[in-house]
């Protein structure tokens, strides 16, 4: 039997807009469940509601109708992490990578220990040379690895990746696929991968949740 982590029941989300009177509905009657130790793909075109859905999962937004229930303590602080697509705005361009990651490690050192931190750096191939780089010197793929390291240091139970292959070349995509497999099978991290491209993720996921104009098209 599958173990539930996050369950949506008849969830709607709307927000006020400046261009029209009243509220615009972004998501309508969402009913779905995300299960432990699975990889779910959230697929949909730009504007379909994917970003709103993952923010609801993470508790960044609250539904305007319906209910979201969290199971197995996944709602505890830091248990859900999102790796957003645009990492350049999240990494300080004038700080060393080592300083950025050490700050994060200091928050979780008592819980995770040095061995876990070293394992994450090793798995993401963040070596001494990489750690000495400054934020502005990083490529798109390197920025993504630093951002991923930061969220993994928090040891999440559920990790949401927003368009994870957008900044990657073919080789880097292959390495990222290895990392995702490591997270799922060795660290027991449940994964949600958001993409507009079905082909990019179809070999990685156990099932899909397809959004079309805020509604599920399953």
Q: Where are the domains of the chain?
A: 4-17+26-216
With the CA atoms of 173, 178, 183 and 187 taken in that order, what torsion angle do they form, in degrees rounded to the nearest 10? -160
Instruction: Using a cut of 0.85, tell me whether the model's pTM lies above it.
Output: yes
The CATH architecture of the domain made up of 4-17+26-216 is 3-Layer(aba) Sandwich (3.40)
Give the model's confidence band at 218: pLDDT under 50 very low, under 70 low, under 90 confident, else very high: very low
pLDDT tens per residue, range 84-127: 876 666 788 899 999 999 998 888 877 777 788 899 999 888 99
Environment class of 16 (CB within 10 Å of its CB; exposed 0-12, middle 13-18, buried 19+) = exposed
Q: Which two tokens stand for residue 208?
A: 């899909």
pLDDT tens per residue, range 115-160: 888 999 998 889 999 999 999 998 887 888 898 899 898 889 999 9
- DSSP secondary structure letters along 64-126: SEEEEEE-TTTTSTTSEEEE-S-GGGTS-TTSBHHHHHHHHHHHHHHHHHHHHHHHHHHHTT-
Compute the distance between CA of residue 185 and CA of residue 204 in angstroms, rounded to an integer.
Answer: 12
DSSP H/E element including 39: strand 39-43
Cβ proximity of 92 and 135 under 8 Å: yes
- Helices (H) and strands (E) counted in the chain, each on its own, are 6, 9
The pLDDT of residue 65 is 94
3-class secondary structure, 34: strand
CA angle 176-180-183, nearest 5°?
135
With the CA atoms of 68, 49, 19 and 85 taken in that order, what torsion angle do they form, in degrees rounded to the nearest 10? 110
Report the percentage of the chain scoring pLDDT > 70: 87
3-class secondary structure, 155: coil
């Amino acid at each position: 039997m599958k173990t539930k982590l996050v369950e949506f029941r008849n969830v709607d989300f709307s927000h006020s807009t400046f261009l029209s009177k009243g509220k615009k509905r972004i998501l309508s009657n969402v009913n779905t469940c995300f299960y432990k130790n699975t990889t779910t793909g959230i697929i949909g075109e730009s504007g379909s509601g994917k970003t709103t859905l993952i923010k609801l999962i993470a508790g960044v937004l609250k539904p305007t109708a319906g209910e979201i229930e969290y199971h197995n303590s996944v709602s505890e602080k830091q248990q859900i992490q999102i790796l957003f697509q645009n990492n350049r705005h999240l990494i300080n361009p004038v700080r060393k990578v080592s300083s950025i990651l050490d700050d994060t490690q200091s928050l979780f050192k008592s819980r995770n220990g040095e061995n876990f931190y070293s394992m994450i750096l090793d798995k993401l191939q963040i070596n001494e040379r990489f750690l000495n780089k400054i934020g502005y010197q990083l490529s798109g793929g390197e920025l993504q690895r630093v951002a991923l390291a930061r969220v993994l240091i928090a040891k999440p139970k559920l990790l949401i990746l927003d368009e994870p292959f957008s900044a990657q070349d073919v080789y880097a995509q292959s390495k990222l696929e290895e990392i995702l497999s490591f997270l799922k099978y060795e660290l027991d991290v449940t994964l949600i991968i958001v993409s507009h491209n079905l082909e990019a993720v179809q070999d990685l996921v156990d099932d899909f949740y397809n959004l079309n104009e805020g509604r599920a098209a399953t």
